[in-house]
Amino acid sequence: MIDIAGAAVDLGGVRVVDGVDLHVPVGTWTMLIGPNGAGKSTLLRAVAGLVEHTGTARVDGIDLATLGARARARLLALVPQDPLLPPEMTVNEYTLLGRTAHLGFLGRTGARDTDVAREATARLGLTGLADRALGSMSGGERQRAVLARALAQQAPVLLLDEPTTSLDVGRQQEVLDLVATLQTERGLTVLGAMHDLTLAGQYADRLALIDGGSVIAYGPPEQVLVEPLIAHHYRARVRVEHIDGAPVVLPARAASPKAASPKAALPR
Amino acid sequence: MTGSNPTNATSAETGAGPVTQADVGGRIASRSVLWRWMLAGFAALIAAVLAGLALGPAGISPATIGSDLLGRLPWLGLGAPMSQLDSTVVWELRAPRVALGVLVGATLAVAGGSYQAVFRNPLADPYLLGVAAGAGLGATAAIAYVGVATAWLPLAAFGGAVVAVVAAYALGRSVSGGRSTTSLILAGVAVAAFLSAVQTFVLQQNSENVRPVYAWLLGRLSTSGWSDVTVIAPYVIGSLIVLLGHRKVLDVLRVGDDEATSLGVSVTRVRLVVVAVATLGTAAAVSVSGLIGFVGVVVPHVVRLMAGANYRLVLPLSLLFGASFLCMADVLARTVLSPAELPIGVVTACVGAPFLAVVLRRVRGGDT
């Protein structure tokens, strides 16, 4: 579904993404993981057409570079890291923005657009909040509004740039559960970037570990979330446990004179 | 929030209600808000136009004018024509001023609202990219050095305005490739400051023969009959149509350049088109009316405070209220010190500033 070949991005003379090849099969969920500055977000933004890049990115065999903004928006919906939400805009109006690339002659909003937007708000449990201003909503509700907008775009590919930063653990699970449900319901292909390794491993079908702008490892979570890889590329001290077969990445404090205290020792 | 209304509040409170009900309620509510405000805007415009035709130093009664208007309608056989003198005053002196006020006020307000949208900056006004400074220098230089007749002043002002904005846009683009609005605004500030300085120099060097420029700089709607109106009408009306056509896209820009792009909007192209068209309209308007300040910033803001920040509503309402505001300001300008005239820029600021303060206090006060 998504085929990235030889993608490279230079920002301010620095090569941030350096020859990435990645194939995301249709209907699957791939999460990009990697340390800060690895190039995850930049790669996502390149696919979304927000930064200039070399190499090719194809969706369904179509070279995205050949598409205008409108045609691209019908293929890819982006949930940005830090969405700008006009405080006085209502959820309804905001969700309708997702229809921008579908609007007809002279930007007329048709009955189909309002239907799709209404269905998207309902699917994310925002019906009762449809006329609420975005500025009056909680972080979790806002993130659901952003997802509703992306859903209203009716694109087969969903790009998630750190969708759960600034949410508490419950809201994080809620948002990811919603994405997982939508993905199965509508057969979406999802490409995301995320910092929380454990959550990424629990929800994604595949993980791509990126460091220095290149893909270091790509495969199912249990192949990528292994201690040597994570420790080396994040320069972190971690332990990887498995709960019900799913890898759980635990940060561990360095051995120090205090290591004798029970607090520092992780249970085996 | 701004533009809150009872229906919205109710549907938000009954949040647990069934899907369709709440949503349909919301849609109907926003439609009725739209039409209520549009009606208010049209009413204000009609009132302002009638006041502009009826009020003035010549003291022609509204009844006489009404009767003359009726008399012009075919087949009815009603009303009586005015005297030749009254007819000239109303249709050759006042009517062109009213028409000019409507066109200039609508253009400045809509251009201001559009600039605020594409720059996502509430203080943006139509003069942001140097239109006023360019037009001022063009007019000043033409009078001081070329010694052109006052009739050609608009053309010189228009040329100066376009040159200034093209320079500012080119400078801003060369820095950021059109991706950053800040560099564009700074480029406008730089160009405007430079041109203003040059203009001050020219004025100082030619203080004897630049008197006509001062009147123009302060802004005035006194016209040489219908010719000024017909000269700027095509530019102004064309730019109004294009800008109003962009009102939905401007709503998409409210979520930021990146997201607007990912929603399918070619942001750089939209910004270029809106800036170019708004500038062209503004340049045409100020070339005849002079530098009327305040309308471009205040009218869109008052509209936002009253009716909400939705550009689908802000642009058409700015058109209606901007036109009525400038029309009324002109009525004040020519009646307060009658038979002398106040510069209209003085009136727009003196009336507009307190009005903005009242609306600001009332809306923000009621909100919190």
Rounded to two decimals, the ipTM of the complex is 0.85
Is there a cis peptide before residue A228, judged by omega within 30 degrees of 0?
no
Q: How far is B250 from chain A (nearest CA, A)?
A: 11
Asked whether the predicted pLDDT for residue B268 surpasses 90, the reply is no
Q: Which residue has the higher pLDDT, B57 or A53?
A: A53
| pLDDT surpassing 50 at residue B367 | no
Q: What pLDDT does residue B291 have?
A: 83
Task: Supply B193's token pair.
Answer: 């400051």
Q: For position A256, what pLDDT does the model report?
A: 64
Residue A192 sits at φ, ψ, to 5 deg, of -135, 175
Query: Is it the case that residue B21 has pLDDT exceeding 50?
Result: no
pLDDT attached to residue B177: 63
Partner B contacted by A141 (CB < 8 A): no
C-alpha–C-alpha distance, residues B239 and B234, integer Å? 8
Distance CA A4, CA A172 (A): 28
Nearest CA in chain A to B22: A128
Residue B14 confidence (pLDDT): 36
Residue in chain B lying closest to A158 (CA): B262
**Does residue B22 surpass a pLDDT of 90?**
no
pTM, 2 dp: 0.83
pLDDT of B212: 73
Sign of CA dihedral B361, B362, B367, B368: positive
Lowest-pLDDT choice from A171-175, B61-65, B326-330, B351-355? B61-65
Query: Between these two residues, B15 and A243, which has the higher pLDDT value?
Result: A243
Strands A54-59 and A62-63: antiparallel
Q: Once rounded to an integer, what is the mean pLDDT over residues A154-180?
A: 89
In the predicted model, is pLDDT for residue B102 greater than 90?
yes
Residue B199 or B224, more confident: B199
Say yes or no: B310 contacts chain A, CB-CB below 8 A. yes
Whether B208 shows a pLDDT value over 90: the answer reads no
Which residue in the block uniquely carries the two structure tokens 């971690």?
A238
- CA triple A152-B115-B283, angle to 5 deg: 140
B287-326 b/e (C-beta count within 10 Å ≥ 16 → b): bbbbbbbbbbbbbbbbbbbbbbbbbbbbbbbbbbbbbbbb
Q: Which of B7, B19, B21, B23 to mutate to test the interface with A (most CBs of A within 10 A)?
A: B23
Q: Which of A84, A92, A128 sits opposite B259 (nearest CB)?
A: A84
B20-360: CATH homologous superfamily?
A: ABC transporter involved in vitamin B12 uptake, BtuC (1.10.3470.10)
Q: What is the mean pLDDT of chain A?
A: 88
Residue of A nearest to B262 (CA): A73
Structure confidence at residue B63 (pLDDT): 77
Alpha-carbon distance of B7 to B1, in angstroms, equals: 14
The reply to whether B29 touches chain A by the CB within 8 Å rule is yes
Neighbours of B76 (CB within 10 A): 9
